[in-house]
Structures are given as structure tokens and as C-alpha cells.
């Protein structure tokens, strides 16, 4: 820190890493709590987001799955929505319009928020944005699966209006970037929600006030 900050006259210091002027009271207030305000935009993924969506290696083994979700969006049979926080894809949700089309359902999958950004309302906003995309397609039901070893997340969906509608078992296969075939057993609760025009819009989701205030663009 000593090398990163230098004084710039009375009352201010310059942070050498960013060249930004910050009030001296904040430089001195080590350990004091502050609130960061960051812009957040929910938008479709672009090709150049794909490497960043691996989240510094966490999802590198899933590169093939990420690319597949993006292809589905490109051909119009899916969507891949990102929560872009200050230029970083802090969360994502995918939609598959194809798989259950005959029964009037769109499948929501791969909802996840990068750990440090959890509990701030991003997951709720992503889910609401996905529901809107489903509604815009004229599909009456959103459906999703929750792994039976992830029961902790059930209240999150129930609070947002999802009902239990069955169970699904099976498997899916993918290749890691090294070419290893991975077989994943699926054992999930199925939840669904009938969507109507009154489906909770993202702009009624309250900011949680837990330290990072997100401003929807």
C-alpha cells in the first residue's frame, strides 16, 4: 500500500494503480466499511464472453457445454443471459427452448453467480430476465431442474413462485478441453412456473443493501 499511494496536495491522495483521486479520509480509513456502486446489465452473451465465463478456470472443464449453450442461442433455439457487472460476467443463466417445446415448456439451466457476487440479488434478476425471454417467445411454462444434492437452493426458487412438478433422472456427457469424456449422472427435482404478463419484473427486485449497490442499466 505504501508504494501504491502518494500524496497529491491537501485532502487527496492518488492511487498509483488506477490514477484515481480518492479522498484522504478514505485512504486513512483502513478497515472502515464502504459501499461500492457498480453498474449491472443483463444481456445476451457474445462470442468474446466465452473465455471469461470460465471464471478463471473454475468452469474450464465445461468449455464444451458453454460453447454448446452459446451455439443454441446463435441458432435461435436458446438464450444465454449474463449479468455483466462492471464488465465482468458475474452471473449467467441459459434457456433451452427446444428440449420441451412440445409440452409448452422452456428449460432454464446453468443459473449461477460468481461466489463474491452472491446474495446481492443477481440470481433473482437473472431468473426474472430469463422468464421474460420465455414469455416473449409465447411459451407458458418455465421449467428447471435442481440436483437432489443441492436442496439448499429450493427455497430460492419456491420464493420466486416455482412449484415441484416431478423428478428427472438420466445422464449427460461432455468432453473436457483435454478430450476426456465425462459422464454425469442426473437426479433432479423438476420445478416449474406458469408465466403471465404480471411475472415479477426485474425492476421490482429490491437491492439487498449488503454492501454492493447494483444499478441496473
Ligand X SMILES: CC(C)(COP(=O)(O)OP(=O)(O)OC[C@H]1O[C@@H](n2cnc3c(N)ncnc32)[C@H](O)[C@@H]1OP(=O)(O)O)[C@@H](O)C(=O)NCCC(=O)NCCS
Binding-site ranges for ligand X (CB under 6 A):
111-113, 118-124, 146, 150, 152-153, 156
Task: State which residue, 4 or 153, has the beta carbon closest to ligand X.
Answer: 153
* CB atoms near residue 195 (< 10 Å): 18
- Classify residue 85 by burial, with Cβ atoms within 10 Å: 0-12, 13-18, 19+: buried
Min CB(94)–ligand X separation in Å = 11
Q: Give the nearest distance from C-beta 162 to ligand X in angstroms.
A: 10
Q: Which residue of this chain has its Cβ atom nearest to ligand X in the complex?
A: 123
The gap from C-alpha 134 to its chain's centroid, in whole angstroms, comes to: 17
Nearest residue (CB) to ligand X, 5 versus 202: 202
Residue 4 three-state SS? coil
Report the candidate in 182, 197, 165 with the shortest Cα–Cα distance to residue 100. Answer: 165
Min CB(102)–ligand X separation in Å: 23
Nearer to ligand X by C-beta: 43 or 118?
Answer: 118
For 112, other C-beta atoms within 10 Å of its C-beta total: 19
**Residue 130 CB, nearest distance to ligand X (Å)?**
11
Amino acid at each position: 500500500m505504501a508504494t501504491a499511494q502518494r500524496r497529491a496536495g491537501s485532502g487527496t491522495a492518488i492511487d498509483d494503480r488506477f490514477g484515481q483521486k480518492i479522498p484522504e479520509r478514505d485512504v486513512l480509513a483502513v478497515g472502515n466499511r464502504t459501499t461500492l456502486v457498480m453498474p449491472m446489465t443483463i444481456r445476451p452473451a457474445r462470442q468474446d464472453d466465452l473465455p471469461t465465463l470460465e471464471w478463471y478456470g473454475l468452469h474450464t472443464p465445461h468449455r464444451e457445454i458453454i460453447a454448446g449453450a452459446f451455439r443454441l442461442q446463435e441458432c435461435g433455439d436458446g438464450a444465454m443471459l449474463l449479468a455483466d457487472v462492471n464488465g465482468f460476467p458475474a452471473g449467467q443463466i441459459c434457456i433451452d427452448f427446444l428440449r420441451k417445446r412440445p409440452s409448452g415448456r422452456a428449460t432454464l439451466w446453468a443459473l449461477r453467480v460468481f461466489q463474491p457476487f452472491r446474495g446481492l440479488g443477481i440470481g433473482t434478476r437473472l431468473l426474472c430476465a430469463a422468464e421474460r425471454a420465455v414469455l416473449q417467445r409465447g411459451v407458458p411454462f418455465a421449467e428447471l431442474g435442481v440436483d437432489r444434492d443441492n436442496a439448499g437452493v429450493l427455497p430460492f426458487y419456491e420464493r420466486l413462485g416455482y412449484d415441484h412438478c416431478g423428478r428427472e433422472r438420466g445422464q449427460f456427457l461432455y468432453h473436457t478441453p483435454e478430450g476426456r469424456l465425462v459422464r454425469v449422472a442426473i437426479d433432479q427435482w423438476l420445478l416449474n412456473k406458469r408465466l403471465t404478463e404480471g411475472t415479477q419484473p426485474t425492476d421490482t427486485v429490491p437491492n439487498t443493501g449488503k454492501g454492493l449497490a447494483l444499478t441496473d442499466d
